[in-house]
Structure 1
């Protein structure tokens, strides 16, 4: 770009990309899609939208990260539409596990989060695209076709946010308290916040109870918190808790 030239407007970028996304012929085979989204209405809406295009079929639906992992293994989809905020196991942790299962399935994160830390996690862990839930039907189809064509995709607003951070426009965006925790620690903190016991967390994540307890200790140390109830409050305040289980209070005591 010449000195003094301005970056293209988001709409211009869209129109430029849209004209170049052409999916290869599939010999009458449809693109197999798995929808991982915990909100039933959103999941059904995505399915209805996809079925308006005869080149797609929805082969499975999942309401949490664990179910998404199992469904990928069972149905072998071409594409996973992955919500990042789901109960039991977040989309970020599910993405990591799905990528371990398959290096060919395409993964498009579909989320409300615009923070650059989420974007970087998705692409660092092997995601192929990042699309905001507020996107139009046209943009979502563009994102899907881009990813299936082997081209990485990010909503224009997301690109603007990430560039702003790395150009010095919003340096404070990197300083959130969650950035001090690893992806695994965030996952365990989320499950603690949702009221799961050490035993349940170890079963969900396929790790030992001792490992869960070690992670919990490290989380407390990094966040300077001293009780599990404080971890629950922290998880809620930082948007990690997407569902609050009945009987949560007794479960908090169980992991103190």
Structure 2
């Protein structure tokens, strides 16, 4: 069964191009398109066939992407959201994930990345490109407590990245996928941090990250 997709974007030519691109592949089927979030909310309440995934832009009239994602998350939590936008700033990325998106792709990305993102969101429940992962890690680090970063100095960069991701809802397998590492390597990071930080569980890792300002509680 193909993945049923709805596209929400106010750029008509872009929508048509994306729809043609996806419909050319057997594994995808664009079942409808909308020009903004308001139009999507109206369609979803009357249609018998619901999309599995919504490709969602951010900057739209009447109801923008963030508002739309929050509405979908509240009313159709089973529906996956993949943001497809030109917005490459940190605020847009973080706000969209907080609003309920499971993935984020820039419109100037290669076609294969879009296909990969859709498959990843539908099978793994998330998609983070290298760029988005870096934005999220940098954002977490920027929220640290001033003058407290030296307390984390014994940790390597990748260990800090792993520690921050432990504070998310991702399981260890998903963290391994995101960091492009094997589960065995992730197990090694976890065990090393248990020893270095004198903790015995993931909860201990999270508490340590909060205490030293890597993430906000």
> Could you tell me which residue of structure 2 aligns to residue 32 of structure 1?
4
Equivalent residue runs for 1:157-196 within 5 Å: 157-168=131-142
> Could you tell me which residue of structure 2 aligns to residue 219 of structure 1?
none
> Could you tell me which residue of structure 1 aligns to residue 27 of structure 2?
55
**1:159: how far off?**
1.8
Report whether the alignment pairs 1:93 with 2:67.
yes
Determine the C-alpha separation between the residues in 1 that align with 2:139 and 2:3: 36
**1:166: how far off?**
3.1
Correspondence for 2:38 among 66, 78, 87: 66
Calculate the aligned-residue CA RMSD, in Å: 2.1
**Partner-residue secondary structure (3-state), 1:153:** coil
Determine the C-alpha separation between the residues in 2 that align with 1:150 and 1:168: 28
Q: Tell me, yes or no, if the aligned pair for 1:114 and 1:161 is still in contact at 8 Å.
A: no
> Could you tell me which residue of structure 2 aligns to residue 122 of structure 1?
96
Determine the C-alpha separation between the residues in 1 that align with 2:106 and 2:99: 18
Gaps of 5+ in 2: 144-217
Determine the C-alpha separation between the residues in 2 that align with 1:105 and 1:40: 23
Determine the C-alpha separation between the residues in 1 that align with 2:65 and 2:44: 13
> Could you tell me which residue of structure 2 aligns to residue 228 of structure 1?
none
**1:52: how far off?**
1.5
TM-score (norm 2): 0.61
> Could you tell me which residue of structure 1 aligns to residue 113 of structure 2?
139
Determine the C-alpha separation between the residues in 2 that align with 1:114 and 1:159: 12
Determine the C-alpha separation between the residues in 1 that align with 2:13 and 2:136: 30
Determine the C-alpha separation between the residues in 2 that align with 1:126 and 1:108: 9
1:31-72: CA deviation from partner (whole Å, max 9, x where unpaired) = 111011110111001101101211211111001110122233
Gaps of 5+ in 1: 1-28, 170-256
1:108-151: CA deviation from partner (whole Å, max 9, x where unpaired) = 01111122222222222221111111110010101011001133
1:175-219: CA deviation from partner (whole Å, max 9, x where unpaired) = xxxxxxxxxxxxxxxxxxxxxxxxxxxxxxxxxxxxxxxxxxxxx
Q: Tell me, yes or no, if the aligned pair for 2:86 and 2:107 is still in contact at 8 Å.
A: yes
**Partner-residue secondary structure (3-state), 2:105:** strand
Q: Tell me, yes or no, if the aligned pair for 2:67 and 2:99 is still in contact at 8 Å.
A: no
TM-score (norm 1): 0.52
> Could you tell me which residue of structure 1 aligns to residue 53 of structure 2?
79
Q: Tell me, yes or no, if the aligned pair for 1:60 and 1:71 is still in contact at 8 Å.
A: no
Equivalent residue runs for 1:199-210 within 5 Å: none
Determine the C-alpha separation between the residues in 1 that align with 2:13 and 2:7: 12
**Partner-residue secondary structure (3-state), 1:46:** helix
**Partner-residue secondary structure (3-state), 2:6:** strand
Aligned length: 143
Q: Which runs of 4+ in 1 moved over 4 A?
A: none
